[in-house]
Structure 1
């Protein structure tokens, strides 16, 4: 591409008209700050026909003039100089990098990216944890790799980070795949904020994901946990909360806001924190019993505390002591981790247990999704363990 063209660029929930130029390794993306709305801007014309728009033409001609100046002077065009040219030679409004301040590093921008994601995710703990974990790992990677924007714009960055994740962090393929996806989102964030432009092939890099082995509890194991009579007054509430989450498939972020839920005719109704859809969960006898034990004020615990305590309680009373093998894929090799069943149980396994037990009773997905808040069947399937086939007759009654 040797001439600039008009292009649509999405930034957040808005779509802007931009001037885009690419030739060899030179890329320029100039945001005109014109929000594109096909319903109001030259209605009836195709986007290609919009080139006749005088405003668009002025932006195109200005960038073309800059490129001509670069060719005459034998200089390579770049983003920063293009914006400066537009500012000094026209009255068009562009945003230049702030001067007089120390230049922000890649890690400074990644912190900004994380801060924006935290606002977007709200109190959704598990999603925040993924971003914060990557931030910590990237800082460790930066100590030896010395991240720069030039290095980010090289495909070797992804290969180096992939190898670092396998060798230094011990990550499995699915974790590396998720982190690579977040890093590509970070590159788009930098482009949207006109920090720099990246080669298109970087966004095609990926690590194949593999279907994870889902760890779930069967009804006998749930009974073993719930009906154990050895718990003290501090341990009983922890177990009750965990079992309640099994009975309702509630995400932890929804459990944190359970005070916003209402119960009508033994049906729990709440707006799902993540998907913003309403969930409706029929409460079985066990769930109702737990709520009544605490006068419908379920004890509140932090996610990390709950995970730590259930593992400690299981070990203390030797619960879920059956041998268990979990397979996973690391750098395309299938590996196995062995231990006791309790070693693989976390709070989030309550959700996969609920879904798996109902599916194994041939409960239609159309009945499960209103309870879990899932919008896509494909997402729901990631929680299921189709190898488990317990003989259950009354939902998850214990």
Structure 2
């Protein structure tokens, strides 16, 4: 196994691209990392599992380190299906960390397209830096793509100027890692930014459902609302964890921890995680349902809803929201009207932004701890 430290610098990205090219060609497996704790948890001195090209080290939502095992065939199947859906191979801008699957796939797609990716090397994410990194790529004639998380897209829309102008010039921007709210979709459309909301994870070699429609070669089934995925894009297990592998992967199918449904138009809608159900006074409330209602209200940009211990209700529905000019009673009334009395948050607090972990995912544990303390 070849462990490659990725700190965003040009040298580290170049090293990862070289190692990735060798791995896709049958060379030794690559473990990209930024955290030495996660690197060591993957036991890099132990041989990689057969058929593994890349190991994505992630702490996941529970904080338990896991290493997702991806073969060269899974990575290339995902990349080819993505190009087919977007309009053909092209040039890519890497704007998210390359040790996460969304960023890594930008490199895989570039390698398969025979193009050199542009890279946003600056720490943090600033619209002006995005515009500068995109400039060389946007002067080219072939399709231009990038992948962002919703927080990054929101900052581009808020800032306007060169960053937003650069975003408009892309033929497609994949938006993944977290849910793309209806408000963010509308703002992007009004600004002329062509986004493709994606659903997927490390276990599916990045996004496998684009704008509610599975990629070619991917099949999605619902098992009592649980999203189950089949296809060549799937990982083949977890690093040194046969128990977790057996639990999640069976008969060529990956059982996710997400709830979903099919819309009237036949598109997959993600309803939230199975373990995000809140039992309040004997009534089960889906946190994602309340979040969708809140973010649909005027002035609300983002929201995270969790359950906290309550002596009367068992769990109380509470919300941390990002927004201005919002009336708490109106927010609670909207939730009550659309999802029932139990869904109305017992408490609503405001923040300038939600705490995040990983590539744009809301840190629900941090939100829960914050609301419990307050």
With structure 2 as the length reference, what TM-score do the two structures score?
Answer: 0.22
TM score, norm. by length of structure 1: 0.21
The structure showing larger relative contact order (alpha-carbon pairs under 8 Å, at least 6 residues apart) is 1
Looking at secondary structure, tell me which structure has more strand per residue.
Answer: 2
Indicate the structure (1 or 2) with the bigger Cα radius of gyration.
1
Q: Report which of the two has the higher share of helix.
A: 1
